[in-house]
Amino acid sequence: MNSESQKALRSRLASHRGHYGIDGGWEAVAGLLWPAGAGLLLLGLSLFPGIAKPLFQQVLECLAGVALLQIPVSFFYSTKRGKFAVWAELLAGLSLRGDERILEMGCGRGAILGMLGKLLPQGHAVGIDLWRTEDQSGNSLESARMNLAAEGVADRCELQTGDMRTLPFPDASFNLVISSLAIHNIPDKEGRKQAVGQAVRVLKPGGRLLIADLFRTEEYVSWLQEAGMLRVSRRPLGWRFWFGILGVTPRLVTAEKPVGGEPPPESTPVDSNR
């Protein structure tokens, strides 16, 4: 596929007709009010002409105000536009045939699942979730169904209620397993390890795994290596995936399930990029 075709595909995947809520739920939005208010206050103080103060103090207040305002701006950009652009690039780069079986763990209201449906004219995508509104505002089975219908892919996608720590699928069921901003919501380390292990279990030999997450992605790398996965890698996802969290770099973890005759996992390089 040439560069123009890739660009057109990314644009088609990133455009959406559904309504996908706010990542982190309304609690996340409430948490953004104080940095937004403090940022506006500091900017006002730094620019108010009636208050005499040293120039360096004005500059510091202005910079602090901009930094605080960046938090809500970055969050809303990532949740409404950035994540769509990032996942459109990731999925377009997979060069899918179109007949694969794909699983999304923690699909929420179906933003990524809808993109997958556009890539599977002869395939099938399954999304599984517990539908917690703490993880995404308005998260529900019905809202996901409505969004898949709005994207025109309801016939290619299936929704199930279930826990990613105990996936209700046979071994080697899927060509691709993905998860976006979901595994970190499991509070205990053992539970997160179970979820990663389940992803490996349901992958077919030669299948690929993509996990995008905010925290603890180094754990995923370690567990995937222990499970014998090949070509395990970890890299930053860039500013479009920041979600306003200062000091946190969201990362993508990828891996492949070995097939017969492949080299042992110890020979697989890992770009931790920590």
Q: Look at residue 274 and tell me whether its pLDDT is greater than 50.
A: no
Nearest to 257 by CA among 190, 182, 207: 207
pLDDT at 120 over 90: yes
Could you read off the pLDDT of 150-171 as tens digits, one per residue? 999 999 999 999 999 999 999 9
The yes-or-no verdict on residue 28 having pLDDT over 70 is: no
Q: Is the pLDDT of residue 89 over 50?
A: yes
N- to C-terminal Cα separation, the chain: 32
Burial string for 141-175 (b: 16+ CB within 10 Å, else e) reads eebbebbbbebebbebbebeebbbbebebeeebbb
* pLDDT higher than threshold 50 for residue 249: yes
Which pair of structure tokens corresponds to residue 39? 């940022």
What pLDDT does 236 receive? 95
> DSSP class of residue 264?
P
Q: Please report which confidence band the pLDDT of residue 243 belongs to, taking 50, 70 and 90 as the band edges.
A: confident
> How far apart (Å, rounded) are the C-alpha atoms in residues 64 and 99?
51
Q: What residues have CB less than 8 Å from 55, skipping those under 6 apart?
A: none
Percent of residues, the chain, with pLDDT higher than 90: 62
What domains appear along the chain, each with residue ranges and CATH number? 97-267 (3.40.50.150)
